Structure 1
Amino acid sequence: MAGRILLNEWTVLAIHYGTAQRPVSDLILETNDIHDRPSQIDYFVWLIRLEDRLILVDTGFEAGEGAARGRTLLIHPVAALSSLGIKSSEITDVVVTHLHYDHAGNLPAFPNATFHIQDREMAYGTGRCMCHERMRRPFATEGVVDAVRLVFQSRVRFHDGDGEIVPGCRVHLVGGHSKGLQVVTVATGGALLVIASDALHFQHYLENDGAFPLFADYLEVIEGYNKLRVLAGANGLIIPGHDPEVLQKFSPLAPDLQFARVLL
């Protein structure tokens, strides 16, 4: 599903491409639910448009990788873009929030894009931490290798902390869930839209400092929530990365586009 936010001259789309039913214990670090009932997690990529600049935030999971992990692919991100009248070759920039399998699959599908990755994330995904099974578990080997290939093709723009994609659209290093996790902000007047990705899996984490039970640095996860609040300010909007409420809270973009929803 996708949603649209009109921010002055900006258009921002949330594309819902996948879903899964998982036990509650898979989705929060601490739970008192003794029955460990199934709960839903949804998967999104985001499209930011400014005139002829088309910025894709994350590229989703590769179909085979998702299936192997028990995730349901609802629509391939490339097919979703095509349904919106956008060819993958028209994407000018891809922000890889982090290199986990569900955010950095399908990288070769965007042949003309510049890829934006944090220095810390590339070092993490290709360094000694990947010698440990628990730390490499959310990474897909081929996805990381594809990212390395892009480096050797001179198609990666590295960021060391906060940086600018284009005026009004920035990346901000948060870390926590992955060493080099970055979030994306889009400016609208005096407020910011914050695409939180996995810096905030679910909105309710903000209420009780909940955490997804997979992380590189727990302290950075929890303190990252404060950074999201500061970025958004009093009038901004934080969009969580995997929350089904994104689908429930907002209206469809168009009745004939089942993957499309209007956020604002």
Structure 2
Amino acid sequence: MSDDVYEAFAVRYAEGDRNGAEVFIGGDPHDQPIPISYYIWILCNSSRTIVVDTGFDEVSARKRKRKISRPVAEGLEALGIDRNAVTDVIISHMHYDHAGNDGLFPNACFHLQDSEMAFATGRCMCHRALNLPYDAEDVVNMVRRVYAGSVRFHDGDTELFPGITLHHMGGHSRGLQSVRVKTKRGNVIIASDVAHFYAHLEDRRVFPYLDSVSDALEGYESVKRLADSFDHIIPGHDPLVSVRYPALSPLTKDWIVRLDHAPGTP
């Protein structure tokens, strides 16, 4: 495989249900529980392995009343990844479900937008409506990494490695970033929480926990421009991701799926 072409995986580690008002501004007319999934993503080739987001642990699961289906470490093991050997972790944003599991990657450099760190440690965190999705300990742990020289900050869009680019989006959080990765089927966009569900993109509806409605809507257009097609966009929390994409193996159905293969392929 070329140095700039990657295999890409979504690893589903937790699940839960939300009501319509917790998923869409204005609620949902069907007024029934909406399943939500929690993922991390893995990008790898013969030259490097990159982890996108770190998920949350059992302590956070109990605190937030979430259910861990398979711990993140178990998914890494199933992929044959030595977490101690991972050298680069991209944090899409610092909400508890994307930046927890402290210590899981002790030797990694963490890649973060300048504006996300400023947001998560600044005056906006005085407001409960904005600090609710953050965990103070996760933020403090990231500050410790900064002082240890283990964080690399990015200001806007940048090429991280050949075939992998970071794209500042904002909207859901001030420094939210998506990841574009070159795969054998084309450019796939790990949208993360630019869009929690396919329905957000399809219906131009907005998730209610956010920093800016206008930036969230503009983010939809940005990921569409960056992706080779709509089928190349991977939303952050949609259970359909683990249904539409082929499993790594029969043993990983609904758990680990391949994003470098087209949806619906065996």
Aligned-partner Cα distance in 2 for 1:235–1:223: 16
- TM-score normalised over the length of structure 2: 0.91
Any stretches of 5+ residues in structure 1 without a counterpart?
1-5
Aligned residues of 1:14 and 1:46 also touching (Cα < 8 A): yes
Superposed CA offset, 1:125-165 (max 9, x none): 00111111111000001100110000000010000001122
How many pairs are equivalent?
258
Aligned residues of 1:108 and 1:146 also touching (Cα < 8 A): no
In the superposition, relative to structure 1, how do residues 7 and 38 fare at CA in structure 2: closer, same or farther (>3 Å)? Answer: farther
Which of residues 223, 239, 250 in structure 2 aligns to 1:244? Answer: 239
Aligned-partner Cα distance in 2 for 1:208–1:159: 31
- TM-score normalised over the length of structure 1: 0.92
Q: Does 1:42 align with 2:37?
A: yes
Question: Identity over aligned residues, as a percent?
Answer: 41
1:178-189 → structure 2 map (5 Å cutoff): 178-188=173-183
> How many angstroms does 1:94 deviate by?
0.4
Superposed CA offset, 1:16-56 (max 9, x none): 001001112211112352x6311101000000002141100
Aligned residues of 2:3 and 2:162 also touching (Cα < 8 A): no
Which of residues 172, 176, 181 in structure 1 aligns to 2:167? Answer: 172
Kindly report the root-mean-square deviation, in angstroms, between the aligned alpha carbons of the 2 structures: 2.0
Indicate the residue corresponding to 1:124 in structure 2: 119
> How many angstroms does 1:204 deviate by?
1.4
Indicate the residue corresponding to 1:3 in structure 2: none
| Structure that is richer in strand per residue | 1
Tell me the SS of whatever aligns to 2:247.
strand
In the superposition, relative to structure 1, how do residues 171 and 8 fare at CA in structure 2: closer, same or farther (>3 Å)? Answer: closer
Q: Does 1:262 align with 2:237?
A: no
Tell me the SS of whatever aligns to 1:256.
helix
Which of residues 9, 22, 31 in structure 2 aligns to 1:13? Answer: 9
* Aligned-partner residue type, residue 63 of structure 1: E
Tell me the SS of whatever aligns to 2:156.
coil
Moved beyond 3 Å, runs of 4+: 6-9, 188-191, 233-236
Any stretches of 5+ residues in structure 2 without a counterpart?
262-266
